[in-house]
Amino acid sequence: MNRRKFLSFSALAGAGAVVAPQTAMAAVKSRTAERNANQPIATRILGRTGMKIPILSMGVMRADNPAVVRAAYNAGLTHFDTAHGYQNGKNEEMLGAFFKDKDRSTFTLATKGKANPRSDDFEQDYEALFNTSLRRLKMDYVDIFYFHAADDVETLTNPRLLTMLKKFKDAGKTLHIGFSTHAHKPAQIDAAISSGVFDVCLISYNFKLNILPELNAAIRRGVEAGMGFVAMKTMVGGTEDAEGHKRVNGAACLRWVWQNPDITTAIPGFTSFDLLDNCLQAAHSPQISPSDVEYLASLQNKEMLYCQHCGNCVSQCTRHLPIPAMMRAYMYNFGYKHPSLSKETLLELAVTGNECTGCMACTVNCPSGFKVAEKIAAITPIVNVPSYYLT
């Protein structure tokens, strides 16, 4: 999207055309409101799940301080998002310890898990994985169980996967079924709609996306079919620059996301009280401002740390490396300042650190301007760093 189009889209939003309607923006009622009666956060409904949740939720992925979770809960956030793999299970354990004495009606929780539906032991492995998550969380059920990081339509619609997800729901282990994807491909959303199985989609969604018209249209089709949409990667990597020096204005990024009423909630991964405060300020004043629009427009054509996950590079690379996920690992380290997550991501890809060794000239031409070979050389050595050196 060029600067002119970006500004006109945002100006339309600023006028209220795509801001959530009053009914959907109703103030949080319930115990959340009691906890934070003076500053309610607007809520929206998550598709056919009927879950009414604040527009701001907590992506717990990188948080390791339960006091930050407590502060978010006390501030009126009710939805918390984790995954089986985050912090090698410690993330789920932390949430289990925090929520074990909380009234189950005061929060909703989503976790994610991934297994290969083409493997011989898939059913057994996937069930064991989910049971482990429930045990760590000290819960009989979660509100949403996502198939984690769907890469392609074939995997997402694999009959063995769909059967297992339905089995989890029928057994009451999850109230709703979802999938997460970094690839934000409209085709995945359409496949999920056709399957009739997925209630929720957790999707990368931010002002830098270069396929917004197609993606917004697909999200609309999903909403019309009853699906709910949750936004992640809203802060495009956390910094304004490709070097990871200057923190992005997260409040402006969130306000941009909330312009789309089809997005129920955003799950920024704040890890500290000041980042939480920044997100809360945005949630308490969610209307995008002219200065937000100007700020975001100034970043529109700038190289930052967010990889579009368009996948163009994979076929261009002589070795067909999983470059989008490697770029995500780069972002986790240099943008999020979370080297252990970066290492975890690369180890899942079986990266060794020698991926580009001996390749004489990089054949990848990234439309975002990423010098992928340089980024791969900078990030892959982390897989050989002992974990006790990494935060």
CB half-sphere exposure, 43, CA atoms < 13 A: 20
Closer to ligand SF4 by CB, 218 or 326: give it: 326
Please check whether residue 1 is in contact with residue 9, taking contact to mean a CB–CB distance below 8 angstroms. Answer: yes
Single out the residue of 22, 20, 95, 84 nearest to residue 56, CA to CA: 20
Closer to ligand SF4 by CB, 257 or 327: give it: 327
> Nearest distance from residue 351's CB to ligand SF4, in Å?
12
Closer to ligand SF4 by CB, 153 or 161: give it: 153
> Nearest distance from residue 361's CB to ligand SF4, in Å?
7
Closer to ligand SF4 by CB, 112 or 208: give it: 208
Who contacts 367 (Cβ-Cβ below 8 Å, separation ≥6)?
A: 210, 308, 310, 312
> Nearest distance from residue 187's CB to ligand SF4, in Å?
16
> Nearest distance from residue 370's CB to ligand SF4, in Å?
5
| Count of beta carbons in the 10 Å neighbourhood of residue 359 | 14
> Nearest distance from residue 182's CB to ligand SF4, in Å?
10
**What are the tokens at 37?**
């009666």
Q: Which residues bind ligand SF4 (CB under 6 A)?
A: 307-313, 317-319, 321, 323-324, 327, 356, 359, 362-364, 366-368, 370, 372-373, 376
302: alpha, beta or left? (left if phi > 0; alpha if psi -120 to 50): beta
103-120: burial string, b at 16+ Cβ within 10 Å, e else = eeeebbbbbbbbbebeee
> Nearest distance from residue 303's CB to ligand SF4, in Å?
10
In terms of C-beta density within 10 A (0-12 exposed, 13-18 middle, 19 or more buried), how is residue 367 classed?
A: exposed
Closer to ligand SF4 by CB, 181 or 259: give it: 181
